[in-house]
């Protein structure tokens, strides 16, 4: 006969059991300890823990090539806009960046909407030539 310590509701109780039962109980305890160790090790090397530590993971849904082309396009467009005059830049910002209505901008400039459309068309053509 052997005595084993068994926890019941946070209190340890000593119980006398047969040798066979004590061996099985020790095996179960050892397996539980190994499983706790495995779980801890798995959690320590988990993606979640790595992300918490600041490791950045690429989004599998993102297209790196597409992002590079997009960045290149933005850089080229920025260069093209730099070739515009200050008045042309202002007009582009008002219409495309701030989203103002063409009629509103035309009234501010004291020109008709068609004249504004012509200016915008010339600006866009200049940008298009630069990009080509």
pLDDT in tens, 53-64: 777 766 777 777
**Dihedral angle over CA of 115, 116, 120, 122, nearest 10:** 20
pLDDT in tens, 69-78: 888 888 999 9
Whole-angstrom Cα Rg for the chain: 36
User: pLDDT grade, residue 113 (50/70/90)?
Assistant: very high
Checking 118-126 for CB contacts under 8 A at 24+ apart, the result is 119/88, 119/91, 120/91, 120/92, 120/95, 123/84, 123/88, 123/91, 123/92, 126/80, 126/83, 126/84, 126/88
Mean pLDDT value across the chain: 86
What's the pLDDT at 38? Answer: 81
Task: Retrieve residue 78's tokens.
Answer: 């920025």
Say whether 132 sits in a helix, a strand or coil: coil
- Highest-scoring range by mean pLDDT, 3-17, 30-44, 49-63, 105-119: 105-119
């Amino acid at each position: 006969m052997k005595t084993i310590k068994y926890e019941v509701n946070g209190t340890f109780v000593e119980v006398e059991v047969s040798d066979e039962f004590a061996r099985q109980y020790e095996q179960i305890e050892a397996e539980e300890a190994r499983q706790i160790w495995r779980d801890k090790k798995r959690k320590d090397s988990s993606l979640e823990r790595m992300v918490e530590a600041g490791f950045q993971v690429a989004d599998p849904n993102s297209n790196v090539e597409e992002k590079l082309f997009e960045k290149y396009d933005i850089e080229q467009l920025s260069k093209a806009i730099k070739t515009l005059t200050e008045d042309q830049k202002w007009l582009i910002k008002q219409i495309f960046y701030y989203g103002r209505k063409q009629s509103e901008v035309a009234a501010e400039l004291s020109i008709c909407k068609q004249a504004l459309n012509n200016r915008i068309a010339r600006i866009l053509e200049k940008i298009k030539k630069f990009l080509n």
